[in-house]
Amino acid sequence: MSNSINVHASRTVANSVFEYIRLLGHDLIPSLLFFFYLLCTGSLFLDIIHHMLHHCTKAFHSLLQRLARIHHFHYLYFTRHLKFDRKYVRENRFQALPLELAIQICGSILGSRLEGRFIRLIELFKKCRITNTAYLTLPEVWYIGSEAELHPS
């Protein structure tokens, strides 16, 4: 008897969870897409800065040299042989990783600032495509057997 109550209770909980997810689906999908957009912009920004840090070891500005030195600890900690060098755990944990996290966050903030412009650019592109397709007639391709024929639309 208690088994039937537990099964019924678990089905009710599962149904309510699925109903909740279904209701939030309309809000959840755009939020997830925006999260992935911010993740991508942050990663792209990190890759650009990462490339610049490799070229700043002999920079004229002392701040850039310091940032390049901090970034270098990551490579001392994780060697070319894909092994961890325990001598540099502290420098990697408290200098290199926070630097990379800060750069990733700055890139995500930059992405959130540019998000409105990016959406307006996409809407403008869609609007131009809709207006241009009214004047543009593309030929149709008809496949007959193994041959293709072009016909005006």
DSSP 70-124: HHHHHHHHB-TTS-B-GGGHHHIIIIIHHHHHHHHHHHHHHHHHHHHHHHHHHHH
Task: Answer whether 0.75 is exceeded by the pTM.
Answer: no
**150 DSSP β-pair partners:** 141
- What is the pLDDT averaged over residues 15-30? 67
137 pLDDT band (50/70/90 cuts)? Answer: low
* Tens-place pLDDT, residues 38-56: 888 888 888 888 888 777 7
pLDDT at 8: 54
Could you tell me the residue ranges of all domains in the chain? 34-150
pLDDT at 27: 65
pLDDT at 34: 80
The pLDDT of residue 109 is above 70? yes
145 pLDDT band (50/70/90 cuts)? Answer: low
Residue predicted with more confidence, 152 or 58? 58
**147 DSSP β-pair partners:** 144
90: amino acid identity, one letter = R
- What is the pLDDT averaged over residues 109-116? 84
pLDDT at 68: 82
